[in-house]
Amino acid sequence: MIVKYGGNAMKSLDLRRAVARELAALRGETPVVVVHGGGPVIERELAARGLESEFVGGLRVTTPQAMDVVEMALGQLGKQLAQDLGAAVGLTGRDCALLRAEVLDPRLGRVGRVTGVNAGLLRTLLGAGLTPVVGCVAVGEDGEALNVNADTAAGAVAGALGEGVVFLTDVDGVYRAYPDPGSRATQLTRAEVEEGIAAGWIAGGMIPKVRAALDALDRGAPFATIASGMTAGVLAQAARGEAGTRIVP
Ligand SMILES: Nc1ncnc2c1ncn2[C@@H]1O[C@H](COP(=O)(O)OP(=O)(O)O)[C@@H](O)[C@H]1O
Ligand SMILES: CC(=O)N[C@@H](CCC(=O)OP(=O)(O)O)C(=O)O
């Protein structure tokens, strides 16, 4: 199973501990690949260097200078996450061309669209009993780094392995009337997702998640669910469709 772990779910110590417990429990049941982002850490490291960045369509406009910072921040974060997990290897998409990408849109700078996943490397690590912890940096056609949204990267990995994916975040699913208090959808179809984006109740960072979920399903993943890492047993429940919001074709 693929678990996407993002910046919002790393923000509080409680949430980090809960996610670490969840990942440890899940590993007892099934092999796990962690794909991680780290938006707030990237933001902090850019600010510390006096670099501002803007988002267009939920994607960070990434200059070559910012790319260096993104790669450094995600690399360090991945090593920490792998160390927390134990029996895990922190890498990014640049290792053994794990994630290959092309420039998505030159106006966004070094932002990538995933074109290939080295599934063999992931299977080799899993076969050795090691959990891959993958930071969302890809290698571009020019051999240099490209910044990929972590949800998008997780969706691509799930599709390449043909396994289910859970996007862990700080909300326990997709809400129908967001940001008004509303009800969590237990399931959303492609048509409902498109309607939610058009109507604005699927917004901001939720958009790349639902799009990555649909992309994973299109590429053959058996399920794609958005859930919060706070509840005990949530990953196993999400895999059974008992927690979070399951995106369906
Ligand atoms: N319909 C919705 N239901 C729930 N959350 C939503 C919805 N639309 C937008 N959001 C926002 O999306 C956020 C999760 O995305 P993001 O901040 O990118 O998380 P992460 O860092 O975990 O990838 C939520 O905290 C919430 O503010
Ligand atoms: C292109 C792009 O926007 N890349 C993201 C990669 C990190 C990410 O996605 O982290 P979260 O999962 O914590 O949001 C960024 O630079 O913030």
- In angstroms, the CA 101 to CA 141 distance is 7
Smallest Cα–Cα separation from 179: which of 195, 196, 166?
Answer: 196
**In CATH, 2-248 is 3.40.1160.10:** yes
CA of 93 to the centre of ligand 2 (A): 14
Q: Where are the domains of the chain?
A: 2-248
ipTM: 0.97
11 is catalytic: no
Which ligand is the nearest neighbour of the Cα of 199? 1
pLDDT in tens, 9-26: 888 888 888 898 899 999
CA of 220 to the centre of ligand 2 (A): 24
- In angstroms, the CA 204 to CA 230 distance is 21
Q: Is the CB of 177 under 6 A from ligand 1?
A: no
- In angstroms, the CA 182 to CA 175 distance is 6
CB count in 10 Å sphere of residue 113: 15
pLDDT in tens, 151-160: 999 999 999 9
pLDDT in tens, 79-106: 999 999 999 999 999 999 999 999 999 9
Confirm if 104 and 153 have CB atoms less than 8 A apart: no
The predicted pLDDT at position 58 comes to: 86
pTM, two decimals, is 0.96
Atom of ligand 2 nearest to the CA of 38: 13
Confirm if 234 and 228 have CB atoms less than 8 A apart: yes
